[in-house]
Structure 1
Amino acid sequence: RRQAAELARQQAEVLGVGRLVKKSQITIQEAPVEALPPQIKTEEEAQLDAVLDNFSNQMMEDITTQVEEVVNVKLPSDIVKEIPIVDEVELSQAPIAVDNVEIPVFEEEEEIVEMSDVEIEFRALVTELIEAGVEPSDMMDDPRWEDISERAMATGFETWPVFLQLTAMQ
Structure 2
Amino acid sequence: MRLGLEKEASQKFTDISTRIKIIDDNIETLNELYKKNAFATCTTRVDEIIRSNYAYFLENSIRYNEKEKEKMSKEYEYRFEDYKKKKKDRSILDKLKDKEYSEFLHEQDKEEQDFLDELSLNMYYKDLNKEDEIEYFEDNEDKKEEEENEDR
- The structure having more radius of gyration, on CA atoms, is 2
- Higher RCO (C-alpha 8 Å, min separation 6): 1
- TM-score by structure 1 length? 0.28
